[in-house]
Chain A
Amino acid sequence: MRPVYMVSGGITKFAKALPQTDFRRMVKDAFDYALADLPGLSRDRIDGSVCSYFSDHFTRQLMAGAMVQDYLGLNPKPSRRVEGGGATGGLCFQSAWESVASGRMEVCLAMGFETMGRVNTWKGNEFIALASDTNFDYPVGGFYTGYYAMMVNRHMHEFGTTVEQMAKVAIKNHLNAVYNPYAQRPGRLTVEDVRAALMVAEPLTILDCCQMSDGAAVAILASEEMAQKLGGTPVRVTGVGSGTDAMRMADRPHGEVILLPHENREEYADLKYPGVHSFRGGRVAAQNAYRMAGINDPGQELDFVELHDAYTSSEIQTCEDLGLCRYGEGGSFVDSGAPFMPNLDYGLSFSGSGKWRPLPVNPSGGLLACGHPVGATGLMQAVFAFWQLQGTIEKHLKDATLQLPDPRRGLIHSHAGTGTYITVSIMERV
């Protein structure tokens, strides 16, 4: 396999509904943004594409990816669709990476969208719930927030995680998004605001949950030779990993923790893993990506993380899977202030525990505040990570607040189902 670089990216504004543009036009807008941002790249230099969108129900159109391909003027070049629930965007990014790494393409376009505003919120929830076992799970609960609420109740039982710690994640991501004009639901929140908000599935309130969105994003990947030829400021993709777990969380094992290099067996002697409180697929995805990128202690070697915070609780769970802190420490990690932007005032006082070095998690605002147009989400993370590593946040967000001072290495994480498909990719400044 040969080195792969991200050379450009683009996103549309994420919003509850964008009725003026259909899915083809949304992707076109993101694509045109990416082309304009790298003058050396013309459409004819692109060898093919991968398209990501989750549900045909939302588009009321099968083979929607083929329609995007022709709308972008990319016929008759190769294209395909990838789908894997919430991780669709992350899988698309890695599929494009494979196209370039294998030598099949010099330049590959990863493009994704979702148009969830075309049905009402509760019908949308029903579509999403169809991504759970329709014999045994969907007819009983039929609601993903219910599944995540059960997982976090067990996490709280095992580790003492609190609703206040979850609320702090909501505060962090919504405030970060105040400085991100692409975000759907920026806001200044307090712990009381989050807890007093509409209860969806106990203990998750509506501010603990991401929203449904319309939106699109693209990431353009290229070989080293082409990245040099195209100019600009390419960012290298140094690691990719992905993992899976049983569709039904009822089937998950209760066994031994899968260890990262900086962990040892003794510290988890009493933990039944992954149960329903942790994501084994996320741990495996991280393990593979770290191995490829040569990362031994992610908490020390990463400068920021854009992870799939569909729920405040899943951000806490995911920080543990990624090894940013130990299993069980996700809540304390939040309390310490480590995942917050050092330059923002969140109206919170932190524990001051020096256990973790500052490691901003979801500087963009994440899914909670940016929105979650499923097929675009994993690519949106790639675009924000790309701009962070390029040092071009001010140029693209028209505000320098979210630009980290000197980021060298970032991680993006995309997640489906109750942890069913998960991808982790590592991106590094060249």
Chain B
Amino acid sequence: MDRNAKLPETEGGTILFNTDPIIIKHHYEVDYLHSYAQDSPFFVGLTKGKLMGSHCTGCGRRYATPRGHCMECGEPTEWVEIPGEGRVHTFTTCHFGGEAFLKETPFTLVMVEFDGVDTLFLSRLIGAKPEEVKIGMPIRARFLRNCKFKPTDVYFVPM
């Protein structure tokens, strides 16, 4: 036993914003091992310049944003290519955003509708000024050549 045990002192400190009450800076960061799991083929599709959606083997419903099982009937879906051309179902231009996206503002979001597909797809639209975007406007998908394996590997432009 060492009755004089003593922790070593360090030069590190704490960033203090206030003393009444005490407010300190607390940094928090984490790297996940995030699996796209059953959604993975969608991201593989992006590397090939394809939008992959889901077709329900039970009720025939077609989803522009994929899901492994049908929301309506619960049956498994199969992968199906979604046409690269669609229309603006609705849109907005964001001048602010979550912290991670602030540096990208302003950006235009669109919900895309496709012929023969029952649901929509969220994406970004470039190549049109905010006041030029209209509901019903025809748009087409473009793909990044250097994939990031993110849904932003696909984006839309006016036709």
- Is this pair of chains taken from one and the same complex? yes
Q: Are B91 and A153 in contact, with the CB atoms below 8 A?
A: yes
Is residue B89 contacting chain A, with contact meaning CB distance below 8 A? yes
Is residue A1 contacting chain B, with contact meaning CB distance below 8 A? no
Residues of B within 8 A of A343 (CB): none
Chain A residues 143 to 165 lying within 8 A of chain B, measured CB to CB, are 143, 145-146, 149-151, 153-154, 157
The answer for the CA separation of A153 and B118 in the assembled complex, in Å, is 20
The one of A19, A139, A201, A251 that contacts B151, using a Cβ cutoff of 8 Å: A139
Interface range on chain B (Cβ under 8 Å from partner): 35 or more
The one of B26, B99, B135, B151 that contacts A60, using a Cβ cutoff of 8 Å: B26
Is residue B47 contacting chain A, with contact meaning CB distance below 8 A? no
Q: Are B97 and A276 in contact, with the CB atoms below 8 A?
A: no
The answer for the CA separation of A199 and B105 in the assembled complex, in Å, is 12
Residues of A within 8 A of B71 (CB): 246, 251
Residues of B within 8 A of A154 (CB): 89-90, 111, 135
Residues of A within 8 A of B122 (CB): 136-137, 140-141, 248, 250
Residues of B within 8 A of A337 (CB): none
Residues of B within 8 A of A139 (CB): 150-152
Binds B, one of A65-73, A119-127, A359-367: A119-127
Is residue A200 contacting chain B, with contact meaning CB distance below 8 A? yes
Residues of A within 8 A of B93 (CB): 201-202
Is residue A142 contacting chain B, with contact meaning CB distance below 8 A? yes
The answer for the CA separation of A128 and B124 in the assembled complex, in Å, is 20
A19-B23, A251-B65 known; A202+B100 contact, CB < 8 A:
no
Is residue A349 contacting chain B, with contact meaning CB distance below 8 A? no
Q: Are A19 and B95 in contact, with the CB atoms below 8 A?
A: no
A-contact bits for B118-142, CB 8 A (1 contact / 0 none) = 1111111000001000010000000
Residues of B within 8 A of A291 (CB): none
The answer for the CA separation of A120 and B18 in the assembled complex, in Å, is 16
Residues of B within 8 A of A153 (CB): 90-92, 135
Is residue B81 contacting chain A, with contact meaning CB distance below 8 A? no
* Closest chain A residue to B66, Cβ basis: A136
Q: Are B91 and A150 in contact, with the CB atoms below 8 A?
A: yes
Q: Are A19 and B100 in contact, with the CB atoms below 8 A?
A: no
Is residue A135 contacting chain B, with contact meaning CB distance below 8 A? yes
The one of B21, B90, B130 that contacts A19, using a Cβ cutoff of 8 Å: B21
Residues of A within 8 A of B121 (CB): 250
- Chain A: interface residue total (CB-CB under 8 A): 43
Q: Are B99 and A122 in contact, with the CB atoms below 8 A?
A: yes
The answer for the CA separation of A202 and B18 in the assembled complex, in Å, is 37
Residues of B within 8 A of A200 (CB): 94-96
Residues of A within 8 A of B67 (CB): 251
Residues of A within 8 A of B91 (CB): 150, 153
Q: Are B94 and A157 in contact, with the CB atoms below 8 A?
A: no
Q: Shortest Cβ distance from A29 into chain B, in angstroms?
A: 15
Q: Shortest Cβ distance from B52 into chain A, in angstroms?
A: 12
Residues of A within 8 A of B96 (CB): 122, 125, 143, 145, 200-201
Q: Shortest Cβ distance from A271 into chain B, in angstroms?
A: 15
The answer for the CA separation of A122 and B18 in the assembled complex, in Å, is 21
* Closest chain B residue to A254, Cβ basis: B118
A157-B135, A250-B122, A251-B65 known; A136+B151 contact, CB < 8 A:
yes
A145-B94, A251-B119 known; A60+B65 contact, CB < 8 A:
no
Residues of B within 8 A of A203 (CB): 92
Is residue A129 contacting chain B, with contact meaning CB distance below 8 A? yes
Residues of A within 8 A of B63 (CB): 251
The one of A136, A157, A204, A253 that contacts B90, using a Cβ cutoff of 8 Å: A157
Task: Report which B residues bind A (CB closer than 8 A).
Answer: 18, 21, 23, 26, 28, 34, 36, 39, 63-65, 67, 71-72, 89-102, 109-111, 118-124, 130, 135, 150-152
Kindly list the 8 A-B residue pairs having the minimum CB-CB distance in the complex, ordered from nearest: A126-B98, A149-B92, A154-B90, A250-B120, A122-B99, A142-B98, A143-B97, A201-B94
* New A-B contacts (4) at CB < 8 Å, excluding given A135-B36, A136-B122, A201-B95: A120-B99, A154-B89, A201-B92, A248-B122
